[in-house]
A and B are shown apart, each in its own frame.
Chain A
Amino acid sequence: MKPFEFFSPITLAEASRILADHNGQGRALAGGTDLLIRMKRKQWTPRAVVSLNRVAGLNEIALNGDLKLGARVTLNQLIRSQIIRAHFPVLAQTARNMAGVQVRTLATIGGNLCNASPSADMAPPLMALNARAVIIGVEGERIVPLDEFFVGPGKSVLQPGEILREILVPRPNDFTRASYHKLEHRQAMDIAMVGVGVSVQIEHRTSNIENCSDVRIVLGAVAPTPLRAKRAEEILRGNILNEENIAHAARVAAEEAKPIDDVRSSMWYRREMVEVLTRRQLMELGDSRLEIGD
């Protein structure tokens, strides 16, 4: 690692000021599971590392109206939280399928999002749940829909001196169902080749026909940023979740993906798998025998 100065401020304002003073040469440190690897490889050579570890309030999970997830909430905290298990099971399940226990002790939800990897596992389910990012900078606070948070591989809308403070997620109603599935080479400790997050609002019309009043489909690892499959959503919004509509939407979602060939997988395979994962999850979520909220 290149030499750097280490800071451990106790307020966000101070953290933000130190980062701003270093004018793009500073990096926030949360769990360090992405940052340290980049620094060891000298891909990043920050002059200041600003730990968020001692800043109070960043690791809270609270549900009053919206769910408030502090940026420093760790993946293991998500898995253990009663609030998350009861109301946002998709988030606990996503965290459980990331890395191994040791890394999950350190890895934070904010770090996963701010690292802005196209394959970040937390992005699709949170975007599917219509989450917003609360960002603090020297000039104050701004709120950005997570849909607009990612700019490109490794790049978010955060400007030098800006820190993600928390994620806000609307409380799902009794008719919301959400899921996230990723495809990886191994069952543990692997990065997604393709990830698909889906949420649907189910309106019961008759006993066994599911009408979908709203839907969000988010594709991970198949574009420079996590991507909403908006044309696929349009096909389902206000329609019946039957096999035909779902198959159509899944096909369109695959067309919307912009995958690349790389070591993990080929472009062709990724596109095929977007269709499979999207169809499978919509079929599962649209199954009226499912207990709602599961």
Chain B
Amino acid sequence: MQRHHISLTVNGDSHELNIDPRQTLLQVLREDLELHGTHLGCDSGDCGACTVLLDNEPVPSCLVLAADADGRAVVTVEGLVQNGEPHAVQKAIVAHGGVQCGYCTPGIVVSSVALLQENPHPNEQQVREAIAGNLCRCTGYQKIIAAVVEVGAESGF
């Protein structure tokens, strides 16, 4: 099989990788870089479990060819942790009881962080819109939404 060379920055670290052109960004993150925080759900863009930031914008990594991400920067849920401290969104979702099985959680965290970057003080409706592409089978969303709204309300700028 023909291999394809790419450079990828993931959570601040640069990687030179030889990939199969068929690999999705999600597969490269999980299989080649062993970053298992980004989850595979539907593999078709519907569930949001695989959400990462690509050049700072949220994308479903199951629909991105890794070859097409050459030269770009990726942030996964692992990259949101600073000096061992979980991100404010992660802490708030835990504190509000917004995690049950946890399968959707990394995607929801990344989508919420993307929203807060663009709009530091979102209201409930804006949070709902921002995570409309993230399915959760367990929590019923209310606690997740309350958590993200609270992070926005408490952020100092």
Contacts and interface: CB of A to CB of B under 8 A. Distances in A.
A103 B133 contact: yes
Interface string A37-48: 100100000000
B59 to A, nearest CB: 5
B59 A106 contact: yes
Task: With a 10 A CB-CB cut-off, give which of A32, A40, A51, A105 has the most chain B CB atoms.
Answer: A105
Given A36-B24, A101-B111, A188 B68 contact: no
Contacts of A37: 44-45, 63
B54 A100 contact: no
B2 A103 contact: no
Given A102-B58, A105-B57, A106-B59, A36 B132 contact: no
B133 A102 contact: yes
B129 A101 contact: yes
A88 B10 CA distance: 37
B2 A76 contact: no
B133 A101 contact: yes
A169 B5 CA distance: 40
B4 A6 contact: yes
Interface in B54-100: 54, 57-60, 62-65, 67-68, 70
A40 B23 CA distance: 11
A49 B111 contact: no
Given A105-B58, A188-B133, A4 B68 contact: no
Interface string A183-202: 00000110000000000000
Contacts, number: 82
Contacts of A3: 1-2, 21-22
Contact of B65 (A32, A99, A103): A32
Given A29-B68, A37-B45, A40-B43, A102 B60 contact: yes
B90 to A, nearest CB: 19
Nearest to B24: A36
Interface in A50-104: 51, 53, 76, 99-103
B105 interface: no
A33 interface: yes
Given A3-B2, A188-B132, A101 B58 contact: yes
A105 B54 contact: yes
A105 B45 CA distance: 12
A213 interface: no
A33 B22 contact: no
A5 interface: yes
B57 A6 contact: no
Contact size range, B: 20 to 34
Interface residues of A, number: 26
Contacts of A8: 67-68, 70
A10 interface: no
B54 A33 contact: no
B130 A4 contact: no
Contact of B64 (A5, A32, A49, A76): A32
Contacts of A1: 22
A36 B57 contact: no
B65 A106 contact: no
Contact of A189 (B1, B111, B132): B132
Nearest to B128: A188
Nearest to B50: A102
B133 A100 contact: yes
Contact of B48 (A6, A31, A36, A102): A102
A31 B62 CA distance: 12
B68 A100 contact: no
15 contacts: A6-B4, A8-B68, A32-B63, A36-B63, A40-B44, A76-B57, A101-B130, A102-B48, A102-B59, A105-B57, A105-B59, A106-B63, A106-B64, A188-B129, A189-B133
Interface of B: 1-2, 4, 21-22, 24, 43-46, 48, 51, 54, 57-60, 62-65, 67-68, 70, 111, 114-115, 129-130, 132-134
Q: Which 9 residue pairs of A and B lie closest in terms of their CB atoms, listed nearest first?
A: A100-B133, A188-B132, A6-B21, A1-B22, A6-B67, A105-B57, A100-B132, A102-B60, A102-B58
